[in-house]
Structure 1
Amino acid sequence: MTSLGTVLHKPIQVSLTPGGFGPFGEHTTNASWVAVQELQKLGLGDEVNLHVYEIPVEYQKVLDLIPSLWKRHNPELFIHVGVSGMATTVTLEKCGHNQGYKGLDNCCYCPDTHCCIQGGPDCLESIVDMDVVCNKITGPQLDVVISVSKDAGRYLCDFTYYTSLHLSHGRSAFIHVPPLGKPYTAEQLGRALQTIIGVMLGMLEHSTVKMNCLLEH
């Protein structure tokens, strides 16, 4: 049996996908990509292996890429970052939805069924309690406002999140960022991602330790 200490010191695998590359509507720079670039500069600590991949705004590419990345890295947590033109806060999405995908992607395509996974539940939630994450970092730690949402938008962000939640049995998270300058800088968004992901990983590690202690007794 692997000892608890060995489990705790094993490198943590985290996969991260910023989505919607290129200009976003009237915005010339995509905030999700820029924020993730800033996060890569800051890092998540020596014990975390961060794997970053681009996800294009295409339904079929999501269905192909997400499973392959899960198989390749088997991450403790798969985090997706998207930009929302309506957002004014950094938003933690609680759940992904299976139905209602009628918007065309960058290839002018949408699923005929208008759903992610045929026969799947209407809604899937992350095992990460987003309300707890938000409460843990509300205060002077960051100069950004963080909020929680139950609706990721029924477009590629929501589609990606549901697909990932379905494959991971909930070991996924989605973070929406506002457009650059409305009101935050790239550096502020990068620090926000670093703090948020750190809290999420700490919560998962605590859950793993608790589970291992229960199994040992």
Structure 2
Amino acid sequence: MDQKKTVIVTGFEPFGEHTVNASWVAVQELKKLGLGPDINLHVAEVPVEYQAVQTLLPSLWKQHLPHLVVHVGVSGMATTVTLEQCGHNHGYLRLDNSRFCPKSRCCMEGGPDCLHSVIDMDVVCRSVNSSGLGVTVSVSKDAGRYLCDYTYYMSLYLGEGRSAFVHVPPLGNPYSPEELARALRAVVLEMLELMEHSDGTKHCMHHQ
């Protein structure tokens, strides 16, 4: 019997000037929409704290054995829904919500400088943009060296690349929570479609 695929989508708690975090609002809206009958969707709110991410992410991957994990974060500079292609190991200088910053300034001492998603974000971007959704999607290779980038790197490492990161603009600037949720839904379904066709034997879920 073909079991349902599990997908985890996370957003972040408020931080700095983002007293309402658009990412978590959009993810909660996505939860209402769902990803269809064949997919178990789990959502989680991620603290804007380096040490909490170190604890939370391994437990999410271990507990749910997801096919894909998509992290969503807010960027004050974003005007589009932005797909991040890679996560970075070094350069973490900003203090988190608990006023902490890793002494090593990196996610994983001795880890690769950069980890890439198995998903080709350019393909996802083109497909969603041509679908007439009314929300513009773009691609980036710099997730910003804060908790977004940090979380993405950790997740790419834990999931052997079966992870994605999406930056959304602040609410109403220009998109509503519902529009962001529809865009996230289209993006995640396209990612799953791509993985279906490229994944074959590359990433066995039961290797541990």
Question: Is TM > 0.5 for Structure 1 vs Structure 2?
Answer: yes
Deviations 1:181-216 (A, max 9, x none): 1111111000000000000011111224x559xxxx
- C-alpha separation in 2, matches of 1:190 and 1:24: 23
Q: Give the partner amino acid of 1:11.
A: K
The 3-state SS of whatever aligns with 1:143 is coil
Report matched runs for 1:3-42 at 5 Å: 6=1, 9-19=2-12, 21-22=13-14, 25=17, 27-42=18-33
- C-alpha separation in 2, matches of 1:54 and 1:164: 15
- C-alpha separation in 2, matches of 1:117 and 1:23: 24
Report matched runs for 1:193-204 at 5 Å: 193-204=184-195
For residue 120 of structure 2, the aligned residue among 129, 142, 161 is 129
Q: Calculate the TM-score normalised by the size of structure 2.
A: 0.93
- C-alpha separation in 2, matches of 1:29 and 1:202: 32
Unpaired segments of 5 or more residues in structure 1? Answer: 1-5, 213-217
> Which residue does the alignment assign to 1:190?
181
- How large is the Cα RMSD of the aligned pairs? 1.4
Deviations 1:141-170 (A, max 9, x none): 311110000000000000000000011110
The 3-state SS of whatever aligns with 1:162 is helix
- C-alpha separation in 2, matches of 1:111 and 1:140: 42
Is residue 2:46 matched to residue 1:67? no
- C-alpha separation in 1, matches of 2:53 and 2:106: 13
- C-alpha separation in 2, matches of 1:116 and 1:140: 36
Judge conservation of contact 1:98–1:121 (CA < 8 Å) in 2: yes
The 3-state SS of whatever aligns with 1:53 is strand
Deviations 1:41-67 (A, max 9, x none): 110001100111111000000000100
- C-alpha separation in 2, matches of 1:206 and 1:129: 12
> Which residue does the alignment assign to 1:155?
146
Judge conservation of contact 2:15–2:48 (CA < 8 Å) in 1: no
Judge conservation of contact 1:24–1:30 (CA < 8 Å) in 2: no
> Which residue does the alignment assign to 1:51?
42
Q: Give the partner amino acid of 2:175.
A: Y
Q: Give the partner amino acid of 2:8.
A: S
- C-alpha separation in 1, matches of 2:103 and 2:15: 27
How far did residue 10 of structure 1 move? 1.6
Unpaired segments of 5 or more residues in structure 2? Answer: 203-208
Q: Give the partner amino acid of 2:168.
A: V
The 3-state SS of whatever aligns with 1:201 is helix
How far did residue 37 of structure 1 move? 1.2
More helix by share: 1
For residue 167 of structure 2, the aligned residue among 167, 173, 176 is 176
- C-alpha separation in 2, matches of 1:41 and 1:203: 24
- C-alpha separation in 2, matches of 1:130 and 1:92: 6
CA 1:51/1:88 → structure 2, altered by over 3 Å: closer, same or farther?
A: same
- C-alpha separation in 2, matches of 1:56 and 1:68: 14
Deviates most, 29-38 or 151-160: 29-38
> Which residue does the alignment assign to 1:80?
71
The 3-state SS of whatever aligns with 1:137 is helix
- Fraction of identical pairs, as percent: 60
The count of residues paired between Structure 1 and Structure 2 equals 202
